[in-house]
Amino acid sequence: MLLAYAFRPFFLLTALYAASLVAAWTAFLFGGLPLPLGVNPVQWHAHELLFGMMPAAIAGFLLTAMCNWTGAPPLKGGGLLALILLWTAGRVAMWLSGWLPLWLVAAIDLAFLPAMAAYVAQVLLRHGNYRNLVLVALLSLLTGANLAMHLGFSGIWLIGGRLGEVLALDLIATIMVVIGGRITPAFTANWLRMRGKDPTQVRRSEALDRAAFWSMVAMVPVDLAMPFPVLASLMALFAALVNGWRLHAWRGWKASGEPLIWILHFAMAWIVVALLLKAMTPWLALSPSVWMHAMGAGAGGTLILGVMTRVAVGHTGRPMRLPRLAIWIYIAVITAGAVRVIAAFVPQLAYPALTVSAVAWVVAFLLFVLIYWPILSRPRADGRPG
Is the residue at 384 inside a domain?
A: no
Is the residue at 382 inside a domain?
A: no
Quick one: pLDDT at residue 227? 66
- The total of structural domains in the chain comes to 1
Alpha-carbon distance of 351 to 113, in angstroms, equals 34
Alpha-carbon distance of 371 to 325, in angstroms, equals 8
Q: Which residues of 123-134 are buried (b: 16+ CB within 10 A; e: fewer)?
A: bbeeeebeebee
Please state, in angstroms and as integers, the Cα–Cα distance from residue 260 to each residue in 175, 309, 310, 324, following that order.
20, 8, 6, 13
Contact 198, 250 (CB under 8 A): no
Is the residue at 385 inside a domain?
A: no
Q: Which domain holds residue 69?
A: 4-375
Determine the 3-state secondary structure of 5 from DSSP. coil
- DSSP state, residue 296: I
CATH code at 171?
1.20.210.10
Alpha-carbon distance of 155 to 78, in angstroms, equals 37
Determine the 3-state secondary structure of 379 from DSSP. coil
Is the residue at 262 inside a domain?
A: yes
Please state, in angstroms and as integers, the Cα–Cα distance from residue 373 to each residue in 3, 290, 308, 325, 369, following that order.
14, 33, 12, 14, 5
- DSSP state, residue 40: -
Is the residue at 380 inside a domain?
A: no
Quick one: pLDDT at residue 383? 84
pTM across the whole model: 0.96
Quick one: pLDDT at residue 50? 98
The mean pLDDT values, 10 residues at a time, for the chain of 386 residues are: 95 98 94 87 95 98 96 96 98 96 97 98 97 97 97 89 94 98 97 94 96 97 84 96 98 95 98 98 94 98 98 94 96 98 89 96 98 96 85
Is the residue at 234 inside a domain?
A: yes
Query: CB neighbours of 73 closer than 8 A, spacing ≥ 6?
Result: 67
Please state, in angstroms and as integers, the Cα–Cα distance from residue 382 to each residue in 167, 183, 341, 372, following that order.
42, 23, 42, 17
Alpha-carbon distance of 345 to 343, in angstroms, equals 5
- In a 13 Å sphere around the CA of 285, the CA atoms on its Cβ side amount to 0
**CA nearest to 263, candidates 297, 305, 203, 220:** 305
Is the residue at 386 inside a domain?
A: no
Q: Residue 346, Cβ neighbours under 10 Å: how many?
A: 10
